Amino acid sequence: MKKVLFLCNKSPFPAREGGPMAMNSLIQGLLNAGHQVKVLAVNSAKYHVTEADIPDEYRKQTGIELVDIDLTIKPMEAFLNLFSTTSYHVQRFISENFREKLVAILHRQQFDVVQLESLFMVPYVEEVRKHCKARIVLRAHNIEHLIWKRLAQQCRNPLKKYYLSHLARTLERYEKNALAQVDGIAAITRKDAAFFRGITATPVIDLPFGVKISPVNFTEDVNGQIGFFHIGAMNWMPNEEGLRWFLNEVWPEVHLRFPQARFHLAGRFMPSWLVTGFQPGVEVWGEVENATDFVNQHQISIVPLLSGSGIRIKIIEAMAAAKTVITTEIGAEGILYQNEKNIFIANTKEEFLYAISRCLKQSGLHLKIGRQARQLVEQIYDQDKIAARLLLFYERLQKRTAERLSFEN
């Protein structure tokens, strides 16, 4: 039985967006396999959790503790960072309160592994090394600097482009240096794993996001209509960027060709331009009480990502629910898909229109694609199978350490 401490940049429960979903998936997989898990997580205004949000059973299983950290962007600090080589992204996560809570936990309990959920927990490696002999694994949800590099490339405002480029450069420097500080890296995609292997000698495993495999009903469309949908937190810049492009460039043509088509939008932090703006055939729901119910009510997921990195958890969840997904190559990064068999890949306006038109004109096509998407998830993205792979990686790291110590002695 392994004892694993998770250091999380957000609370893994309730899992309301991609990062917490990925964390919680591994936590549940380890618990299902009979291992002990402890969670210490950042609690911020951006992703705030109260005691009432966490069921007693989850609290008992994970011993979850939350530490409030102010992650708000402070204009003066952000401006002064232009003259620094320090990553402003990482700097905001450094907290004395979090450090003290971590040390207290390490004094109370022994762990075999400390898992850092995201690059932003790397500043606490020094405290872990000082107070614990556990192996340290970085769970890399993305290649973080690549997100900001892509955003900078897409940006047309010269001043904003310069600032985004600065953020990308400082984050890249920190990210590459951080890889040597940990004992192992669990990348969320094969592509990310290949990138890390190319720049570090630290052992790397590709470990995708997993889902709980639940029964699914392969039902026909509600009232004979196909509903398109998008769900995701809109305070993540790539989501807003991609959706703005799709609504401006693609949807007007879809509505012109198919006036009865409906596009349903759900997610936290809907921007004012989307809530107050009028788009024919578009329905904005905002944050929904039950994301699973929302997904099940519609048929085709639209994920028009133009930037970002890592694996899109909402895509895996939609595929697990037997939904057809239409997304870009960037959106589908890390997913072992086959285009037009279990997903549609569209990178341009014309390609999105082609995929949408096929789904609307070819009877039953989206149901067939959805079934094959579900089969892919069952084979590769089962959270219990992924947790088992992670445990084997832990064993490999432990053996590697033992061999090194034996050689040194």
Render pLDDT for 313-338 as a digit per residue (tens, 0 to 9): 889 989 999 999 999 999 998 788 99
pLDDT of residue 129: 96
pLDDT tier at 79, thresholds 50, 70, 90? confident
Distances (CA, A) of 302 to 2, 72, 165: 40, 30, 28
pLDDT of residue 73: 86
Condensed to tens digits (0 to 9), the pLDDT of residues 285-301 reads 999 988 888 998 999 99
Q: How far is the C-alpha of 253 from the C-alpha of 258, rounded, in Å?
A: 8
Q: For residues 374 and 403, which has the higher predicted lDDT (pLDDT)?
A: 374
pLDDT of residue 292: 86
**169-179 mean pLDDT:** 93
What angle is formed at CA 347 by the lines to CA 346 and CA 351, rounded to 5 degrees?
A: 50
pLDDT of residue 311: 62
Q: Which domains does the chain have, with CATH numbers?
A: 3-210+383-408 (3.40.50.2000), 222-380 (3.40.50.2000)
Q: For residues 82 and 225, which has the higher predicted lDDT (pLDDT)?
A: 82
pLDDT at residue 112 tops 60: yes
Q: How far is the C-alpha of 318 from the C-alpha of 232, rounded, in Å?
A: 12
Q: How far is the C-alpha of 347 from the C-alpha of 305, rounded, in Å?
A: 9
pLDDT of residue 217: 66
Q: For residues 75 and 368, which has the higher predicted lDDT (pLDDT)?
A: 368
**157-177 mean pLDDT:** 91
Residue 215 in contact with residue 322, Cβ under 8 Å? no
Which range has the top average pLDDT, 47-51, 63-67, 79-83, 314-318? 63-67
Identify the CA nearest to 48 among candidates 230, 268, 265, 267: 268
User: What distance lies between CA 262 and its chain's CA centroid?
Assistant: 27
Q: For residues 336 and 122, which has the higher predicted lDDT (pLDDT)?
A: 122
Q: Which of these ranges, 30-44, 211-225, 237-251, 271-285, has the smallest mean pLDDT?
A: 211-225
Q: How far is the C-alpha of 344 from the C-alpha of 358, rounded, in Å?
A: 10
Residues 6+ apart with CB under 8 A from 315: 301, 303, 325, 327, 331, 332, 335, 343
Provide the whole-model pTM: 0.74
**95-110 mean pLDDT:** 97
Q: For residues 216 and 293, which has the higher predicted lDDT (pLDDT)?
A: 293
pLDDT tier at 273, thresholds 50, 70, 90? confident
pLDDT of residue 373: 96
Residue 188 in contact with residue 334, Cβ under 8 Å? yes
Condensed to tens digits (0 to 9), the pLDDT of residues 123-141 reads 999 999 999 999 999 999 8
pLDDT tier at 214, thresholds 50, 70, 90? confident
Q: Which of these ranges, 2-11, 179-188, 198-207, 306-315, has the smallest mean pLDDT?
A: 306-315
What average pLDDT is seen over the chain? Answer: 90
Neighbours of 309 (CB within 10 A): 25
Q: Which of these ranges, 239-243, 255-259, 278-282, has the smallest mean pLDDT?
A: 278-282
pLDDT at residue 60 tops 80: yes
pLDDT tier at 371, thresholds 50, 70, 90? very high
